[in-house]
Amino acid sequence: MRLLTLALWRRIIPCFMLVAVIILFWRHQYPLPADANALLWFSRLDPILLLAEWRSTGVLPGWFWLPFVMIAITLAGGRLFCGWLCPLGGLLAQLPRRYSRLQSIPWLYSSRYAWLLFTLMLLLAGSNWPVFLTPFHLLSEELFRLWKGTVPWLLAGILLSGIFIYPRFWCNHICPTGLLLAAMARWRSGRLVVDSVCSHCGVCTKVCPTHSLQIMAGLVAEDCMVCGRCWQACPQEALTWQSRAVKKADDYSSAGLSRRQFFKGGFAVFVAGAGWPLLQPSSAPAVLRPPGAVAEEEFLARCSRCSRCVKVCPSQCLIPMPIEAGITAFLTPSIIPRQAKCELCLLCQEVCPTMAIESVPLQQVKIGLAILDERRCLVWAEKKLCLLCREQCPVHAIEADEYNRPYVNNKLCVGCGGCENGCPLKQAAIVVRPI
C-alpha cells in the first residue's frame, strides 16, 4: 500500500503542475483573471530567475524567499523540485521508455558543469538567454507556439531526447536550473543509500530516469530526483533513506575538481567571453517595444522570450521578432502598428516575469512618437477629407489646424500605433518611431 501510494503521488503531483501551468498560460487573455498570476509565482521558484533579477536591479526582490526555500529543500533532500514540481519534468516523466537507450553519455556528463558555468557567465554578463532555457519560461514560449499553430521545435527536441536517449536527458545536461540544483544537491543532508544486502541485480538502474544510481559503489548521485522508483522496484529492499551518514559528495566527480574539469571550466569562461559580441545589440533600427518596456539595451538583457506578453495582448499587436533580427533580439516582443495597434490595456506589464516590462501608469507610457509625412498625407497633399488617423487615436494626440489638416501633438502622443494602423494608404503617411 505504501509503494502504491508513492507511485500514485508520483504521477499526480507532476501532472498537476504541468496541467496547472498549461491552464494558467491559456488564461493569459483579456481580461486577465486574478489566478493567472499564479504562473508568475510558480516561475519565481526558480533560483536562476532570482539571479537574473539580482543582476538586473542590483537588489533582491521581495519574493527572494521563494527560490531560497527551493534551495533549502535541495540542500535537505536533493532535486525534489526537478522530480516533483517542475512542469517540464512532469511532461518528461510521462514519456514511454521502450525506445530509450537508458545510457548516459560520458563526455556529455563530464562537461555539464562547464555548460552550467557557461550559462551563468552569460547571465551575469547581461544576457537572459539562460533564463529562456529554464522550465517555466521555455514551456511558456513553446505553449505559445502551439497556441499560434506553429511547431514547438525546442519542446519537440526535448521530448525526442527523452524518448530515444533517456527521459531526463534535458534535465541532466542542458537545463540551467536542473544543473544548478544538481550541483547544490551534492551537499544534501538526506539521501537514498544502497545497503550491503544489495544483490546487484540492476533493477533499480533500469528504472532510474536520471542514471543516478551507482549500485557497485553503493551510491546514489546528486542527480537523484527522489522519485522513489528504485526504492519501489528493489526486490531486496536494499535502498534506504538516510541523513548525513554517507560521503559528502557521493557523485561521479566525488574526487573533487580534477585537472580536466578545471580546464573545461576555463574553456567555458573563454567561450562565454568570445561569444559575447554575438549577443550584443545589432545595428538594425530600433523597434517599438511594449508599453512600460525599459530602455532597449536593458530590455534585451532582461527579456526571457517567454512570450507571455504576446499571448495576453488582446489586439495581438505584439509579435516575437524573427531570427533575422539577430540572436540578441530573437523572440523578443515588438509592436507592428500596421498589423494592429496597442490597446494600452497594460496587461503585458502584469505578466512579465523578468521586469523587462515594468509597471508604469498609463499617463507615463511612451512607446514611441508618431511622425506625419505631410507630402504623402491625403489631407495635406491632395486636400482630401480623411482624418482616419485622428479618429483612431485614443489619446487625442492627432489634432487639426484651421484648414482641418492633421498634425501630431508630441506631448500627448504615446506611440500606440493607432494612427499608423488607421491610415488608408498602402504605405502609411504617418508612422510611429521608437524614442
DSSP secondary structure letters along 13-37: HHHHHHHHHHHHHHT-SSS--GGGG
| Distance separating alpha carbons of residues 425 and 435, to the nearest angstrom | 24
271 touches 277 (CB < 8 A): no
Question: CB under 8 Å to 20, separation ≥6 — which residues?
Answer: 38, 42, 87
**More reliable by pLDDT, 369 or 248:** 369
Q: Phi-psi category of 300—alpha, beta or left, where left has phi over 0 and alpha has psi -120 to 50?
A: alpha
- Written as nine digits, the cell of 59 is 537588489
Distance of CA 299 to the CA centre of its chain: 15
For a pLDDT cut of 70, what percent of the chain falls above it?
Answer: 87
**In this model, does residue 279 exceed pLDDT 70?**
no
pLDDT of residue 101: 62
Q: How would you classify the pairing of strands 368-372 and 333-335? A: unpaired
Residue 411 binned pLDDT confidence (cut-offs 50, 70, 90): very high
Per the CB < 8 A criterion, the answer to whether 385 and 349 are in contact is no
**173 phi/psi in degrees, rounded to 5:** -125, -30
Count CB-CB contacts under 10 A for residue 67.
21
H or E element, residue 129: helix 129-132
Residue 117's alpha-carbon distances to 74, 186, 434, in angstroms, are 19, 16, 36
pLDDT, tens digit, 9 for 90 and up, residues 200-220: 888 888 888 888 877 666 678
The one-letter code for the residue type at 48 is I
Instruction: Tell me what pLDDT residue 274 has.
Output: 67
Query: How far apart are alpha carbons 346 and 361 in whole angstroms?
Result: 9
* 39-57 average pLDDT score: 94
Q: Write down the pLDDT at residue 299.
A: 93
pLDDT at position 211, please?
A: 81
245-262: burial string, b at 16+ Cβ within 10 Å, e else: eeeeebbbbeeeeeeebe
Mean of the per-residue pLDDT values of the chain: 88
Q: Is the pLDDT of residue 366 over 90?
A: yes
For residues 236-249, average pLDDT: 71
Q: Cβ(56)–Cβ(123) under 8 Å? A: no
Share of the chain above pLDDT 90, in %: 61
> Could you tell me the sign of the dihedral formed by the alpha carbons of 44, 46, 47, 50, in that order?
negative
pLDDT band at 249 (very low <50, low <70, confident <90, very high): very low
User: Contact at 8 Å (CB) between 389 and 87?
Assistant: no
